[in-house]
């Protein structure tokens, strides 16, 4: 599939011109596994609307995450706790339409928000179906231990799952703040056990947020079938993810220290995202020396 030239006005404004570069096939789980096998880093960025999703796709990002960070980024909420399933479905559908308009090829992941998968496996499946029907290829859920049976239930029913360990923002109140996780030996051991269970349950990806770099590197080596995607977790993961607004330097608060503002040296949003993709692929971002926990 190629990127067709779409420059006409849309209800969202003007979409970016087609990329002359990435004549890539649609990104799929086998394609991501091939990339990992070949030692190529996987890139992921959040997007919440049609236009930014199309720009990220054209810039070569493989995975687009409709993160529940949209609560802070788009809705002005203090945390992700207040994000609803309806809001996630709305933004997922917007992103999916944006990708469809430009014949985008990115793999689309949507977050199951707080409270949408906690009651029962059946509730999780209903919530996941809503996001898949809105256009997601995969859903992401936070936490380890109690989530493994839910992951297995979803995977057995054809829903690809990305897990999320380390700093899990939906439980920020239980964690006591946005802190690095897995720092002491017991916490690291528990994180490793949870990650292994999630892989056994069928999770195909695992976001590791704010985890010491040596721990996420070790986990990546341990998890052959589950691709680790780091955010504030060092350079040893199979891929990297950032919140788009953070890496463009347009967030409302202070950027976390592991974020680089790629807009600083770029002439355009697309240029900034291309710079991010190249920096991750070439191993220049993240720089472990800058944010060793």
Active-site residues, by number, are: 209
Q: Tell the smallest beta-carbon distance from residue 246 to ligand KIV (Å).
A: 9
Residue 46 binds ligand KIV, judged by CB under 6 A: yes
243 near ligand KIV, judged by CB under 6 A? yes
In this complex, which beta carbon is closest to ligand KIV, that of residue 215 or of residue 231? 231
Contact 251, 271 (CB under 8 A): no
* DSSP secondary structure letter of residue 3: -
Residue window 97-136: x/- pattern of binding to ligand KIV, with contact defined by CB under 6 A? --------------x-------------------------
Residue 7 Cβ vs ligand KIV, minimum distance, rounded to whole Å: 29
CB of 91 vs ligand KIV, minimal distance in Å: 11
Q: Which stretch binds ligand KIV (CB under 6 A): 67-75, 123-131, 265-273, 275-283?
A: 67-75
Tell me: does residue 241 bind ligand KIV (CB under 6 A).
Answer: yes
Length of the chain in terms of residues written? 293
Would strands 205-209 and 63-66 be described as parallel, antiparallel, or unpaired? unpaired
Place of tokens 């721990």: 215
Q: Tell me the number of residues near ligand KIV by CB under 6 A.
A: 11
The residue (of 186 and 254) whose beta carbon lies closer to ligand KIV is 254
Distance CA 253, CA 262 (A): 17
* Least gap, CB of 5 to ligand KIV (angstroms): 30
Which residues does 92 contact at the CB level (< 8 Å), separation at least 6?
66, 108, 110, 131, 134, 135, 136
| Separation of alpha carbons 147 and 114, rounded Å | 13
Question: Which listed residue (207, 248, 259, 275) binds ligand KIV by CB under 6 A?
Answer: 207
Of 197 and 209, the one with the shorter C-beta distance to ligand KIV is 209
> For strand 161-166 and strand 227-231, is the pairing parallel, antiparallel, or unpaired?
unpaired
Cα–Cα distance, 123 to 121 (Å, whole number): 5
Residue entry with tokens 């946005």: 178
233 exposure class (CB count in 10 Å sphere: 0-12, 13-18, 19+): buried
- Identity of the residue, 69 or 251, whose beta carbon is nearer to ligand KIV in the bound complex: 69
| List of residues contacting ligand KIV (CB under 6 A) | 46, 65, 67-69, 111, 207, 209, 231, 241, 243
């Amino acid at each position: 599939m190629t990127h067709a030239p779409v420059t006409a006005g849309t209800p969202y404004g003007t979409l970016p011109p087609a990329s002359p570069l990435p004549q890539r096939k649609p990104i799929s789980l086998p394609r991501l596994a091939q990339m990992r096998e070949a030692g190529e880093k996987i890139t992921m960025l959040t997007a919440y609307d049609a236009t930014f999703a199309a720009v990220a796709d054209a810039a070569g990002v493989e995975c687009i995450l409709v993160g529940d960070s949209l609560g802070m980024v788009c809705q002005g909420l203090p945390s992700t706790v207040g994000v609803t399933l309806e809001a996630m479905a709305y933004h997922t559908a917007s992103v999916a339409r944006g990708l469809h308009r430009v014949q985008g090829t990115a793999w689309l992941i949507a977050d199951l928000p707080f409270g949408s998968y906690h009651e029962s496996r059946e509730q999780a499946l209903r919530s996941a179906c809503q996001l898949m029907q809105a256009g997601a290829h995969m859903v992401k859920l936070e936490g380890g231990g109690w989530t493994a049976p839910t992951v297995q239930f979803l995977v057995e029913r054809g829903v690809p799952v990305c897990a999320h360990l380390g700093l899990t923002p939906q439980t920020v109140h239980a964690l006591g703040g946005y802190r690095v996780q897995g720092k002491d030996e017991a916490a690291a051991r528990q994180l490793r056990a949870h990650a292994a269970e999630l892989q056994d349950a069928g999770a195909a990806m695992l976001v590791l947020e704010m985890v010491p770099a040596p721990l996420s590197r070790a986990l990546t080596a341990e998890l052959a079938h589950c691709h680790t995607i780091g955010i504030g977790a060092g350079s040893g993961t199979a891929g990297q993810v950032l919140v788009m607004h953070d890496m463009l330097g347009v967030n409302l608060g202070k950027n976390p220290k592991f974020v680089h503002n790629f807009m600083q040296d770029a002439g355009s949003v697309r240029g900034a995202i291309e710079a991010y993709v190249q920096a991750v692929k070439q191993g220049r971002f993240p720089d472990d020396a800058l944010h060793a926990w």
